Structure 1
Amino acid sequence: MDPLHVLVVEDHPLFRKGVVALLDAHPDLTVAGVCVSGEDAVAQAAELRPDVVLMDLQLPGISGIEATRAIVGVDPDVRVLVLSLFEDEDSVFLALRAGARGYVLKDADEDEIISAIRAVARGEAIFSQAVAGRVLAFFAQPRQTPKVFPGLTDREREILALIAQGRPNPAIAHSLSLSPKTVANYVSAIFAKLQVADRAEAMIRAREAGLGS
C-alpha cells in the first residue's frame, strides 16, 4: 500500500521539526511538503495534491482557516486536519465550516496525532477529547425556534396573527382591549415593515409563515 502523503503547515520551527520527525518515523506516512504560511499551503496543496494537510491556524499571511477554505474549495478530496493550540468554540467551528475534517490539539500525544492523520485520510471526522466535548456540548444545547417576522414587535406579531385570521380592525381592537385608532397605527406599521400594499397581501404573508392557524 502506498504511504499517505502529508503536507505539514506550521510556522513554528521547533514544532514543525518535531512533526516532520514524527511522520518520518512511520513507514505508512510520508512528508509531501512543508509550508510556513497560508499562501504557501494553498499553492503546495494544489501542486502536490496530498492525502492530508496538517494545518496550523496561526500563520503568517492568511490564516489556517482561510487556507483550509481555499484548499478544500479547489480540491474537496484533500483532507485537512487542524493541529492547533486553540480549543475555543470559535476556532473549532470556524475550522469545521471552512472544511477541516478533524481538529487535534498540539498537546496531544504522538499516537493520537498519528491516529488522527490516518482517520481523516479514511474519511472519518476526528477530534481531540477536549474539542469533542465542546462539539457535543454545542449540539446538546437547546435551540430556540426563531421568531416569525423578527422585525415586528410582539404586539405587532399578535395583531398580524389576528389579521391572518381575517379579523377586521374593530374586532382586533375589542379582542386586545385597544382603541381602533391604536390598532390602525399598528396595522400601518406592520404593512410598512413587511413592505406589503394592503391587508390581503399581509394576510397571505402571515399565513405562509404559519400565523393565524
Structure 2
Amino acid sequence: MIRVLIADDEAFTRAGIRAVLAAEPEFEVVAEAGDGREAVELVAAHRPDVVLLDILMPVLDGLAAAAEITRTVPATGVLMLTTFSADEHIAAALGGGARGFLLKTGDPLELFAGIRAVAGGAAFLSPAVAHRVIQQVGGDRLASSARARARVDSLTPREREVLALIGEGLPNAEIARRLHIVEGTVKVFVTSILRRLEVANRVQAAIVAYEAGLV
C-alpha cells in the first residue's frame, strides 16, 4: 500500500485526485491539505510515502512547502502538480527536493506511474512537463542539447543505460531487473552518474537524459 497525501487549494481538484486514486487498491489517501503550511503539518503527522503538492497555494506556496517537507520528512517523496501557466516555477522546484512533476490535466496513468516511481525513490517527469522544463532551464541551469549530449558521452556505456532508465522514472530495483544486475550495483552507478553529470538529484539527471535524447 502506497500512502498518499493530496495538497491543493482547490477542493474540487483534491476530490478529483482522490476519486482517481480510489480506483487503484494499492493507493491510500491518508489526508488532504488546502494550503502549503497545512501540507507540511500533515506530512509531519501522517508520514505518507508521497505528497502530491500543488505549486501555487496560499499561506505557504508549493515550492517552500516542498523544501520544508524534504528537510523535515525526507522519507516522503514530493511529487509536484503543475499547469503550463506555472512553468516559471518548475525550475525553482528542482532545487527544492521535488522528485517528480505531473500536469494536473494529464492522464491518470501518469499519476499512477508518478506516485509509484516517487514512492520507490525514483524520479518521474511526465513527457509534457519534461519538455517544458527543458525549455525553461535549458538556457541557464542545464546545458543546451549539444552540451547535454557531450556530458552524457562522458559516461560509460552502462552508466548511459542506467541514466536512460532513470529518465523513464524507474526505481533502482526495476533498473536492476531490467539490466540483470544487483540493486547495490545500480546505486553505485547512480552515485557516479550524479557526480559526473554535476547534478544534485535524480530529477535533474532525468532532465539531462531527456535533453540528450536518451528518453
TM band (smaller chain): 0.5 to 0.7
Deviations 1:119-167 (A, max 9, x none): 1111111112122123445134278xxxxxxxxxxxxxxxxxxxxxxxx
- Find the aligned partners of 1:75 and 1:64 in 2 and give their Cα distance: 15
Checking the alignment, whether the CA contact within 8 Å between 2:55 and 2:86 is kept in structure 1 is: no
The partner residue of 1:126 within 115, 124, 127 is 124
Segments of 4+ in structure 1 off by > 4 A? none
2:5–2:32 contact (8 Å) kept in structure 1? yes
1:24 matched to which residue of 2? 22
Pairing of 1:115-154 with structure 2 (within 5 A): 115-136=113-134, 138=138, 139-141=142-144
The structure with more radius of gyration: 1
Which residue identity lines up with residue 7 of structure 2 in the other structure?
Answer: V
**1:11 and 1:89 mapped to 2: Cα distance?**
18
Q: Which protein has greater RCO, CA pairs closer than 8 Å, 6+ apart?
A: 2
Q: Secondary structure in 1 aligned to 2:121?
A: coil
Q: Would the aligned equivalents of 1:50 and 1:78 in 2 still touch at CA under 8 Å? A: yes
What's 2:69 paired with?
71
Superposition pairs of residues 45-124 of structure 1, within 5 angstroms: 45-86=43-84, 89-124=87-122
Identity of aligned pairs, percent? 39
Letter matched to residue 55 of structure 1: L
The equivalences for 1:162-173 within 5 A come to none
Unaligned runs of 5+ in 1: 144-213
Q: Would you say how many aligned residue pairs link Structure 1 and Structure 2?
A: 141
Q: TM-score, normalised by structure 2?
A: 0.62
TM-score by length of 1: 0.62
Secondary structure of residue in 2 paired with 1:98: coil
What do the CA deviations read for 1:75-127 (whole angstroms, capped 9, x no partner)?
21210000111365531111111110001111101111111111111111111
- Which residues of 2 match residues 182-201 of structure 1 at below 5 A? none
1:88–1:58: structure 2 CA closer, same or farther, 3 Å change rule? closer
Runs of 5+ unmatched residues, structure 2 = 148-215
The 1-side partners of 2:63 and 2:86 are apart by 14
AA paired with 2:19?
Answer: A
Q: Secondary structure at the match of 2:32?
A: strand
